Chains A and B, each alone.
Chain A
Amino acid sequence: MSGATRAGRTLSLLAAFVVLRAFGNLALAFGTKQFPEVLAANPLAYLRAMLSPFVAMGVGMLILAMLLRMVVLGIADLSFVLPLTAIGYVFAALLGRFILHEQVSPQRWIGTVLIFIGVALVGSTPQNTTALAADDEVELQ
């Protein structure tokens, strides 16, 4: 496989992962919010909730997303994957605002963007620092 097709394949797998996770979370949120019992109060309620169509769809999508991420991590570095998938935090806020009609204050938008930037920064650090001395990074004591 040439480098270009390989990169293209990695990027399309990543895009599929981000979309699946965002819509999986959306289906899960929509399904659980419609579910009449409070989940946190009763472990058995989870089993009943899993049978409702939106929750089941959300769980299925999230499992598929997790498997996709494992496949991507096999062919690409975490330091490449994490900054790109951090955009998912912004997607979640957008889906909450425009599909679930949640109130998102300006502070929350700024907070969400900060989280996106922060996760991208955390994710773009050199990997495997326990084996190699990170020469371009200052070690914090």
Chain B
Amino acid sequence: MTWLLLSIVIAATVASDLLQSYEMKRVEDTSVDARGLANLLKTIVHRRYLILSIACLAVSFFSFMALVQTAPLSFAVPASAGSFIVETVLAKMVLKERVGLRRASGALVVLGGIVLLAR
């Protein structure tokens, strides 16, 4: 159950980030400061990928709630960083970003960390 919930948390986080990144790159002038929050809200309403992204964020949050109810906090929070591994792979494959050596090795170090958490 723990690993199923963790997988849902990671998958939903990644989907949310990818959708957000895809959509925000198309938005002109995305600088968000305290005064820009109203503009941000307006942008969100006009962008359906952003709405989908927020829905994924909600799925991720509710599965994280269920995860943290049964699994230790000291496991749940670090393990959710698994999203960086999946994101790095998908950033390369879906968003066609260049994945540098440093980012690839970072994702591998995170993977090593999660393997140790699992023991």
The prevalent SS among residues of A at the interface is helix
A139 to B78, CA, bound (A): 28
Set of chain B residues within 8 Å of A75, measured between Cβ atoms = 33
Interface size class of A (residues with CB under 8 A): 35 or more
Set of chain A residues within 8 Å of B115, measured between Cβ atoms = 111
CB contact under 8 A between A119 and B84, given known A71-B32, A92-B73, A129-B98: yes
Contact B103 A26 (CB under 8 A): no
Set of chain B residues within 8 Å of A26, measured between Cβ atoms = 73
Render B64-84 as a binary contact track against A, CB cut-off 8 A, 1 for contact: 011011101111111001001
Distance (whole angstroms) from the CB of A135 to the closest CB of chain B: 11
Contact B100 A129 (CB under 8 A): yes
Residues of A85-130 whose CB lies within 8 A of B: 88-89, 92-97, 100, 102-105, 107-108, 110-126, 129-130
5 pairs of A and B residues whose beta carbons are closest in the complex: A121-B106, A111-B116, A96-B74, A137-B100, A114-B113
18 example contacts (A-B, Cβ-Cβ < 8 A) are as follows A26-B73, A39-B65, A39-B66, A39-B69, A74-B31, A92-B78, A104-B72, A105-B119, A112-B74, A113-B113, A114-B109, A114-B110, A118-B106, A118-B111, A119-B110, A138-B101, A139-B98, A139-B99
